[in-house]
Structure 1
Amino acid sequence: MSMGNLSRSKIIVTTRSLKVASIMSSCDSYVLKGLFYEDCLTLFTKWAFNDGDERRYPNLMRIGKKIVEKCKGVPLAVRTLGSLLFSKTDEREWILLRDNEIWRLEQSENDILPVLKLSYHYLPSHLQRCLTYLSLFPKDYLYDTDYIIQFWMAYGLLASSNQNEEWEDIGITYFKELWLRCFVQDVTDHGSFYRFKMHDLIHDLTLNLSQRECLTVNRQQMKVIEKVRHLSFSLDSPLGVPQSLKKLKRVRTIVVPPLPFSTENRSIDESFVNACILNFKYLRLLDLSYTLLEELPESIGTLKHLRYLDLSLCRRMRKIPSSICKLQSLLTLRLFGVPLIEVPESLQSLISLRFLEITTDALLLRVIQPGCWSSLQFLFLHKCDRLESIFDGMQHLTSLRRLGIRGCVRLISLPRSLKFLTKLEEINIKSCQKINLCMEVEEAEDQDLHLSLKAFSVLWSDALTDLPRLLLKGSANTLQSIQIIGCKNFEVLPEWLQNLTSLQKLEISYCRKLSSLPEGMDRLTALRLLKIKGCPTLSERCRRDGGADWPKISHVQEVEVDL
C-alpha cells in the first residue's frame, strides 16, 4: 500500500462487531479466525511455566491442553489464564480451573468475558477490588501508578502484614501482580512509577463486575440503584448533578475524567461542586481536574472523610479557600497547573497529607513549621515561573521520599537543609535553567552525611556544571541511578563517582562539553547500564574498538553509545 500514490492507498478497518463491519465495508469482510491450537498451546506454556518446566510436570500439561481448548483460539484468554497458573504446581488448582462452572455458561464464539471473569475470580480479593476501580476511567485511558495508588489509598485498599511497609510500596506490589497476571498492558517503566493501559476487553470486564457500585453518568436522566458508590461524569454538555443521583447517600467517589480526544477543559461550575458537597457527605475522593472551575467553595471543609482532592489544570483557579485546613483525613492534594497567587499557610495544617503536587505564581514559599507535613512523602513543584527559592525548614519533612521540581525557570538553588532528609530516595529536576546544585559544605560535614538517595536526575539545566557532592556522595551505598540530560555546561564527572558502589544505571545525554570519564569507573562493579548520547567527544572515547575510555567501562553489561 503506497501512501505516495493516493489512488493506491487503502484504509483498513478492524472491529470485533460484524454490524460495524457491514456499515464501514465497501467490500467483503475478512473474518479473522482464532489462533491455531498449537500456537495457543505454545503461548499458554510460555505464560504458565518457567522455561523448560513444562517437561517436569506432564500431568499439568495434560490439564493445560484442555484449558487451552476451551479458550477457542483467543490469545488474551490464553495469556490471562496461563499467567494465572504461573508457578502453581498443585494439580488440584489446575483441575478446579479446568472444570469451573463458568465454562458451562452460554458463550458465543467471540465472547471471552466468561473466560476473563474466570481469571478474575481466581484473583486475591484485594486485587479484585483494585482492578474494578480502574473502570471509573474511559477505555484507552493512560493510567499512572503514582495517581492510581493514591486512589487505592483513598479507599483503604492497601494492607500488609509488615507494619513498616509504606502504603505506596504496597501499591506498587499490587500493580505488579496485576501486570504479571496480564490484567494491564502497554506498561512503560519510568523509574519510580509506571504508565499503563487496559485492554478494552479487560475494561469491559471491570465495567461488568463493578456495575452495582460504579456508574458512568453520561446523560441527565438515568436510572440508578441506591447501592452506587462511585460516579464518573462523562457528559458532553456543561455538567450538573442529575436529580436522580441526589438521593444517593453512600457516594464515595466523584471523578470528572477529561473527554477523549479533547484538549478543552470540562465545563463545570461552583454549583456542581456545591451540589456534590451538599448531597455526598461521605466523599473520599473528588477529582475535578481539567475543568473550568474558577473557585472552590468554602463548604469543601465539611467533607471530613475526603482523602483525595485533585484540581490539576483548573487553569482559571487562582486561590483555594482557607477551609481546606479542615480536611484532616486528606492524603493526596494535586494542584498541578493551578496558578495559585500564593500557597496558603492553612495547607500546613493537613497533618495526614502524603502527596502534594503544586503550581504557584509566588516568589517564595512559606517556611515549613516544625510538626507540619510530617507524613508528606511526595512533593512535586510544577511550573512555578516566578519562584526563586523553595521552602525553608525542609528538614521538618522527615518522611519525604521523592522531590520533583519541573519548569521552575527562576529557581536558583535547593536548600542545604535537604541533607537532613535521611528518607529521601529520589530527586528529579527538569527544565530549571538557573538552578545551581553545588551546595558547598565543609569536608568534615561531607564525611558525616548518611543519606538514602536511590535516583537522581537533572534534565535541561544550563547552570549544572558537575554533580552535587553533598547529596550524592552522602548516598554512596544506596544510589542506583543517575540521569543527566540536556545540560549544555555540564563538563566533568567527579573522581569520587567511583565511590558510588551501588550505582546500576548512568545516563549522560546531550552534554556536549563532557569529554571524558573519570578514573576508577572500573570500580563501579554494580553498573549494569551506561547510556551516552549527544556527547560527540565522549562517545568517541567510549568506542569498543580502541576508544581511550573503553577499558574503564568494558565490564559494564550493557553500553549504549551513539557514534
Structure 2
Amino acid sequence: MEAAIGAASWLVDKVVTQLSDELVAAYIASTELGLNMEQIKRDLMFMQGLLHHARERRDKSNPGLQGLLEELRKKADEAEDVLDELQYFIIQDQIDGTHEATPVVDDGIRGQVLHGRHALRHTIGNCLSCFSSSSSSSVPEDANYPHHTAKSRSDESDYVGKLTFNRVDMSKKIKSVIEGIYDLCSHVSNLLKITQPEERRVLSLKRPPTSSTITQNKLYGREDIFNQTLDDMCTIRSETLSVLPIVGPGGIGKTTFAQHLYNHKRTEAHFSGNKTWVCVSTNFDVVRLTQEILMCICQNRNEESSGAHETSNLDQLQKSIAEKLDSKRFLLVLDDMWRCSSEGEWESLLAPLKTGEAKGSMVIVTTRFPSIAQMVKTTKPIELQGLEDDEFFTFFEECIFGQEKPACYEDELIDIARKISKKFKGFPLAAKTVGRLLKNNLSQESWMEVHERNEWKNQQDGDGIMPALQISYDYLPFHLKKCFSYCSLYPEDYRFGNLEITYFWEALGIIAYGDQNNKADHVGLKYLNELVGNGFLMKEGDDSRPYYVMHDLLHDLARNISSQECIDISSYNFRSDSIPQSIRHVSITLQYDEYDQSFERELEKFKTKIDIVNLRTLMLFGKGNANMTFFKDLLKETRSLRVLFMHANSPESFPHDFFKLIHLRYLKLKIPYGVELSLPNAISRFHHLNFLDLGNSICILPKDMNRLFNLHLFLARKELCSNIPGIGKMKYLQRLEEYHVKKEDIGFDLSELGDLTELGGELTIFNLENVATTEEGNQAKLQLKRNLRRLTLIWGAVQQTTGSDVLDGLQPHYNLRALGIINHGGPTGPGWLCSDIYLSIIY
C-alpha cells in the first residue's frame, strides 16, 4: 500500500507542477474547454496533501483504495504524457517562431480563429478518410500521435520535418485526461480522509534491543582488524576521550564485532571493569541515554539504586555520571545508533564523560550510517566489509549444520552450498538467514530451488537479511526512496557517475524539470551524498573523478522494492510468470552472445504482460553483438519513453518511427569502436532532451542539432560538440570544452557563445584571430559565465595587431580559477587581468 500511495502521490505532484506552468495554463484557458482549472487545481492539491500525509503513515492494505490508486496512477501517466506533448509543441513554436501551440493570451479573437482553423482541418481530414478506398493504410500507426512531414528512411537525406500540431485533438485529450483525474479525486480523497491516522513510520521503526552478551561464539574472518582495534583500545592515549565508530550496512556484523571487543579479557583488564553498553536504536534522546548510562554505571559498581537515574533533570544526571566515574578510565558502547540531530546534541551527551583527568577512555559507536560515523568520530572509523570467501563459507556451513555435517554433504550438497554462498558477498546475517532455510530440507532439489529462485529474498522474519536492510530503506525520506529504487535498473556493481545518475533521476521526474533555483546537478549531488551518508551507496575513486557503487545485497533490496514498477532482465533463468502489468521501467543486461529458445519464449510472453506503449524507461546493457530483436521490438512499440539506453551499429538500429519518442529526456547510445555512424535526423526533434551521451564514438550529427533547445549535457568527442552550427540556440548547455571561431562558415561567430550562460568547467576558444574588435569580444559574454573554472584563449600563429583590444572584451567572470592566453600578439595584457579577477593559474 505504501508503494501505491507513494507512486500515486509522486505522479499527482508532477501533474500539478505541469498544470502550474504558465504557458500550459494559458493554453488550456485559451481553448475554452469548459474546465474550471482553478477548482481542479485546488482539488488536485487537496488530494496531493492527503496523499503526502498518507505516505507518512503505516497504512494497512485497503483493496478498494489500492484499486483506485492504480486507476489514478494510470490517469496521471496519461495526463503527464499529454501535457508533456503540449509543452513539446510550445517549445517547437519557440524555436520556429510560430504560434501553433503557444497561447495568444492577449488576443482572444486570434486564439479562437486559430482553434477554428484547426477544427476545420480536423473535420475535412476525417471526411476525406471516410471516402478513401485505402483509409486503413493512411491512418497513422497511433492516431493519438502527431504526424510529421518526414521522408522515408530510404531517402538519402533521412529528413524529418516539423511535427504537425493538431489543436483540436490536443484540446480533446487534455480535457479527457483532466476530467478523468478529477473524477477519481473525490473517491480517493474520501477514502484517504476516513482512514484513521496512525503513528508516523519514523516513530514505528522498532529495532530489537541488543546487549553486550556474545551471541556468536567465534568471530569469523576478522582476526586482523579485530586484533589491531584491540591494540589501539588498550594503548594509553593522550586524549581524555576518543570516539571509534564501527560502520557498515545492516547484517554485516557490527554488533557481533563490538560484543567481542567488549568482552575480551584485555579490554576487561585495561578498563578495570568500567564498561557500559547502551542500545541507542532510533530514539536518540540525550536525557534517556544519560539516564541509561548512569543506571549501568551504578549497576556495574553494585551500588543500591538511589533513584538518581530516574530524574529527567539533565544537569543532575550529568553531575552524577561525572562523580561516579571519578577520573577512572572507562569504555562506553553505543550500539545501533540511527540518528543524532546535530553535533550539539552529540556533544551534550558526551559532556559528563570528558570531565575526568584519566587518559584513554573510549566510546565505541556502531551504526549503519556513514554520515553519523563522520559526525562522531575522533579516530578513523572501522568500515566493516563482507567476509572473505573461504571464511564466509566456513561460517555458512556452521549456520546450516552447527558442528556436525551429514554424511551426504560432501558428495551431494557442498557444490550447491558454494554457489549459494557466493550470492551473499560475505554478509554474516545472510548466512544465518539462508542457513535456516537450508537446514530444514537437506536435499539437492530443495537446495537448488533456493539457489535458483532466491527464496531467502522473500523471507519476512524480523531477523532475516532483507528485513534488516528494508528497515534502513523505510527510514529514508520519500525522494531518496525513489532515487534508490530506480537504481535497481542498472546492473550489479555498476559504477554511477554523478552527472549520469543525476540526469537519469531528472528524466524520471524525481528532480523537478528545469528547476533554475536548484540546478539538477547540484540537487543530484546532494541526493547522492545523502544516499552515501545513509549507507546505500559507496563513493569510490579520487576527488577529480568519483563514482558510486551499490552493494549487491542492496541492489537486491532495490529490485524487491521497485518490483511493481521496474524490472531488470539479467538472468538466464528469467521467468515472466508473475510480471505485473504496472511495469513502466525495463532494463536488459545481455550477458551472452546467444540465448536458448526457452529464454526467448519467456521474453515474448513478457511483452504480452506489460503495457509497452506506456513504458518510461528502456535500457540495454552488456554485449552489443547479442541478439537484440526483443529490444528492437519493444522500441518500435513504445511511445512514452523518458530514458533510452541502446546499442547502435548502423542506421537500421533505429526504428523507422524513431521521431515519435518526443518525450525523451535521456539518450545514451553505445556505438562499437571504429564504426562511423550517421545519427538519425529525428534526434534533433527531441525538444525535451536534457542528456545525450555518445561516449567516445565517431558520429555524424544532424545539421540542425541546435534545435535541441533543452539539452544540458552533451557527452561526446570534443570535435563533435564544437562543430554544431548555431550552438548559441542551445542556451542551457553546461559543457563545451572547445569552440572554433570561423569566418567563412555560418553559425560559428564568437557571438554564438553569448547566450550560453550555463557553461561550466573548461572552455578553450580557438581562432581568435578571426575576431577584430572589443565589441565582438564582448558578444561572447564571458563575464556572465559564472560556472567556468578554466578558460584558454588561443590566436592563430599569424597574428593581427588587434589582439589586445579583443582581449579587453573577453573578460571572464571572477569565479574563474585558471586562465591561458596563447599567441594573442598584443603588446600588453587586458586591464581586467590583475584588478577584477583572482586566478590560481595563469599560463
TM-score (normalised: structure 2): 0.40
SS of aligned partner of 2:696: strand
Letter in 2 for 1:374: K
Hey, what does 1:79 align to over in structure 2? 369
Q: Which residue of 1 aligns with 2:581?
A: 226
Distance 2:794 2:807 in 1: 28
Secondary structure of 1:426's match?
A: strand
Deviation string 1:359-394 (CA, Å, 9 cap, x unpaired) is 387798243166x21222233579xxxxx9995453
User: Are positions 1:299 and 2:521 aligned together?
Assistant: no
SS of the residue aligned with 1:324?
helix
| Cα separation, 2, equivalents of 1:435 and 1:243 | 60
Partner of residue 478, structure 2: 125
Question: Is 1:280 equivalent to 2:634 in the alignment?
Answer: no
Which position in structure 1 is the counterpart of 2:687? 328
Corresponding residue number in structure 1 for 2:258: 36
Equivalent residue, structure 1, for 2:414: none
**Offset at residue 149 of structure 1 (A):** 0.6
Q: Distance in 2 between the 1:332 and 1:32 partners?
A: 41
The Cα shift of 1:321 comes to: 1.1
SS for the counterpart of 2:518 is coil
The verdict on how the C-alpha distance between 1:449 and 1:203 changes in structure 2, with shifts beyond 3 A counting, is: same
Q: Which amino acid aligns with 1:36?
A: A
Confirm or deny: 8 A CA contact 1:364 1:389 kept in the other structure: no
Write the letter of the residue equivalent to 1:34: T
SS in 2 for 1:164: coil
In structure 1, what is the equivalent of residue 124 of structure 2? Answer: none
Q: Which residue of 2 aligns with 1:378?
A: 735
What displacement does 1:125 show? 0.8
Of 564, 577, 581, 1:212 maps to 564
Separation (CA, whole Å) in 2 of partners of 1:155 and 1:48: 32
**Structure 2: gaps of 5 or more residues:** 1-219, 223-252, 263-278, 280-332, 354-363, 377-458, 595-599, 740-744, 772-776
Amino acid of the structure 2 residue aligned with 1:202: L
Trace 1:386-397 onto structure 2 (pairs within 5 A).
391-392=748-749, 393-397=751-755
- Any residues of structure 2 matched to 1:8-23 within 5 Å, and which? none
Counterpart-to-counterpart distance in 2, 1:451 and 1:400: 12
- Whether contact under 8 Å (1:364, 1:390) holds in the other structure is no
Deviation at 1:395, TM superposition (A): 2.0
Cα distance in 2, alignment partners of residues 414 and 56 from structure 1: 65
Who is 2:521 aligned against? 168
Q: State which of 56, 59, 72 in structure 1 corresponds to 2:348.
A: 56
- In 1, Cα distance between the equivalents of 2:829 and 2:606? 53
SS, match of residue 591 in structure 2: coil
Whether 1:267 aligns to 2:636 is no
* C-alpha separation in 2, matches of 1:335 and 1:140: 22
1:420 aligns with 2:775: no
Structure 1 counterpart SS, 2:697: strand
> How far apart are 1:301 and its partner, in Å?
0.9
Query: How many Å separate the matches in 2 of 1:336 and 1:472?
Result: 38
Code of the residue aligned with 1:373 in structure 2: it is M
Whether contact under 8 Å (1:419, 1:470) holds in the other structure is no
Cα distance 1:162–1:284, how it changes in 2: closer, same or farther (>3 A)?
Answer: closer
Structure 1 residues 252 and 74, CA, compared in 2 at 3 Å: closer, same or farther? farther
- Contact preservation (8 Å) 1:84, 1:119: no
Task: After superposition, give the CA deviation of every residue in 1:257-288 in whole Å (9 maximum; x if it has no partner).
Answer: 34xxxxxx522578556423322211110012
How far 1:201 moved relative to its partner? 3.1
- Alignment partner of 1:242 is 2:603: yes
Kindly indicate whether residue 813 of structure 2 is the aligned counterpart of residue 451 of structure 1. yes
Q: Residues of 2 paired with 1:254 and 1:217: CA distance?
A: 11
Seen in structure 2, the aligned counterparts of structure 1 residues 362 and 425 have a Cα distance that, compared at 3 Å, is closer
Q: Taking structure 1 as the reference length, what is the TM-score of the superposition?
A: 0.57
In the other structure, the counterpart of 1:141 is: 494
**Structure-to-structure mapping, 1:170-189, within 5 angstroms:** 170-188=523-541
Deviation at 1:253, TM superposition (A): 0.9
Deviations 1:376-420 (A, max 9, x none): 2233579xxxxx9995453244243225579x9xx7779876841
In structure 1, the gaps of 5 or more residues are 1-12, 16-30, 62-72, 87-103, 259-264, 383-387, 477-495, 509-513, 515-563
CA distance in 1, matches of 2:738, 2:529: 28
Number of residue equivalences:
401
CA distance in 2, matches of 1:359, 1:270: 26
CA distance in 2, matches of 1:471, 1:173: 40
Secondary structure of the residue that 2:256 maps to in structure 1? Answer: coil
- 1:274-329 superposed Cα distances (whole Å, 9 cap, x missing partner): 4233222111100125x656643442211121111111444335111112222122
Letter in 1 for 2:369: R
Partner amino acid for 1:206? A
**Which residue, 535, 547, 552 being the options, matches 1:195?**
547
% identity of equivalent residues: 20
CA distances 1:420-460 after superposition (whole Å, capped 9, x unpaired):
14235235699x99999x997536963883525445489xx
Structure 2 Cα separation of the partners of residues 373 and 304 of structure 1? 17
Q: Secondary structure at the match of 1:242?
A: helix
Shift of the 428–445 alpha-carbon distance from structure 1 to 2, 3 Å rule, reads closer
Counterpart residue number, 1:480: none
**Mapped contact 2:635–2:655 kept (Cα < 8 A):** no
Deviates most, 212-221 or 135-144: 212-221
Aligned AA for 2:808? D
CA distance in 2, matches of 1:194, 1:233: 26
Report how far residue 173 of structure 1 moved. 2.0
Moved more, 175-184 or 150-159: 175-184
Contact 2:722–2:736 (8 Å) recurs in 1: no
User: Structure 2 matches for 1:458-469, cutoff 5 A?
Assistant: none
CA contact (8 A) 1:358 1:380 kept: no
What amino acid sits opposite 1:196 in the alignment? Answer: Y
**8 A contact 1:306–1:327 mirrored in 2:** yes
- Opposite residue 400 of structure 1, the aligned amino acid is E
- Could you tell me how far apart the structure 1 residues matched to 2:720 and 2:537 are? 40
The answer to which structure has the higher helix fraction is 2
Look up the SS of the partner of 2:583 in the other structure: coil
Name the structure 2 match of 1:339: 698
Equivalent residue number for residue 442 of structure 1: 804
Structure 1 residues 481-560: aligned runs within 5 Å: 496=834, 500-501=837-838
- The AA in structure 2 aligned to 1:205 is L
Task: Kindly provide the amino acid, as one letter, of the partner of residue 477 in structure 2.
Answer: P
Quote the offset at 1:79 in angstroms.
Answer: 3.2
Larger Rg: 2
Q: Which amino acid aligns with 2:717?
A: T
Task: From the superposition, tell whether residues 211 and 279 of structure 1 become closer, same or farther in structure 2 (CA, over 3 Å).
Answer: same
**Partner Cα separation in structure 2 for residue 159 and residue 472 of structure 1:** 41
Per the TM alignment, residue 151 of structure 1 is displaced from its structure 2 partner at its CA by 0.1
What residue in structure 2 maps to residue 353 of structure 1?
711
AA in 1 matched with 2:787? E
- What is the CA-CA distance between 1:213 and the residue it aligns to? 1.5
CA, structure 1 residues 58+232, in 2 after alignment: closer, same or farther (shift >3 Å)?
A: same
Give the drift of 1:174.
Answer: 1.8
- Secondary structure at the aligned position of 1:304 is classed as coil
Instruction: Give the Å deviation of 1:141.
Output: 1.6
